Amino acid sequence: MLLLLLLISCLTSLLAALVVFGGGMLLIAILPLFLPAAAIVPVHGLTQLASNSSRVLFSLQDVLWSLIPGFLAGSVLGVAAAGWLWTQLPVQLLPLFIGLYILLSLWHSGFKKLLSRYENFIWIGFLQSGLSLFVGATGPLSTSLLLKQQADQNKVIVTAALMMSISHLLKVLVFGWIGFSYLDYQWPLFALIVGAVAGSYLGAKIRPPEPNPRYIYWIKLGLSALALQMMIAAVL
């Protein structure tokens, strides 16, 4: 089981390192086969922290550092407000709203023009980090905005990884504070983290170095497919 977890973690981390999306969502869809329900989100969070932070360390030169302070500030506020969101919003429908946001922001010109007046990484950090406490994989929120502002695929991938690292770190700290024992899952976590770091390393080595507009277009299509999947799952 541990070897299988290591392999799954490596492949999903490699996918995220190559195409920026999908790895975290694929992993959280597989973990219920191996873990009890209460452990899925915190274990996934720590694994994704290892995956994303190692991706950043292997490609520090590609981080868009100017975007990070605003995202960090929004993330702290988002996590602080997560408890309030839990009591005020229909949690089971949150993926529906996230998916709709992603689709409109990627493909609807009128919606993008409206968002441009208000959309910023403080707000994205608030949503991504806050909602990650109960949605799980919210990385497409920051990725969709990065794709609209940056054509270099490497900068998108690595900057998105740093933003997701911030979200997952805050999530891990919150679950530890409320009493989740990560030591109870030390060996599955060890296998998952080793696989995640290995996948990030392989992705950094084989990722194409040059920007490719067609590549970005396929990333947008993939994000749209994931958004639709989240929306359908929320409705059903």
92 pLDDT higher than 70: no
Q: How far is CA 221 from the centre of its chain?
A: 17
Q: Which residue has the tokens 């590549």?
A: 215
Domain count, the chain: 1
Which segments of the chain does DSSP mark as H helices, in order? 2-19, 23-30, 37-57, 68-88, 94-107, 109-115, 121-135, 140-149, 153-177, 186-206, 213-235
Whether 123 is in a domain gets the answer yes
Query: What is the DSSP annotation of 141-177?
Result: HHHHHHHHH---HHHHHHHHHHHHHHHHHHHHHHHHH
What confidence score (pLDDT) does residue 186 get? 93
218 pLDDT higher than 80: no
Q: What is the arithmetic mean of pLDDT over 102-106?
A: 76
Tens digit of pLDDT for each residue in 115-140? 556 678 898 899 888 878 776 667 77
pLDDT over 70 percentage in the chain: 84
What confidence score (pLDDT) does residue 141 get? 78
Q: How far is CA 177 from the centre of its chain?
A: 21
Task: Provide the angle, in degrees to the nearest 10, between the axes of the packed helices 153-177 and 2-19.
Answer: 140
Q: What is the arithmetic mean of pLDDT over 62-71?
A: 91
Amino acid at position 76, single letter: V
Whether 73 is in a domain gets the answer yes
Whether 70 is in a domain gets the answer yes
Rounded to whole angstroms, what are the CA distances from 87 to 23, 174, 230?
29, 17, 21
65 falls in which pLDDT band (50, 70, 90)? very high
Q: State the pTM of this model.
A: 0.75
What confidence score (pLDDT) does residue 184 get? 92
Q: Which of 194, 186, 200, 187 is nearest to 6 (CA)?
A: 194
Whether 35 is in a domain gets the answer no
Range of the domain at 192: 2-30+40-235
In angstroms, the CA 147 to CA 175 distance is 31
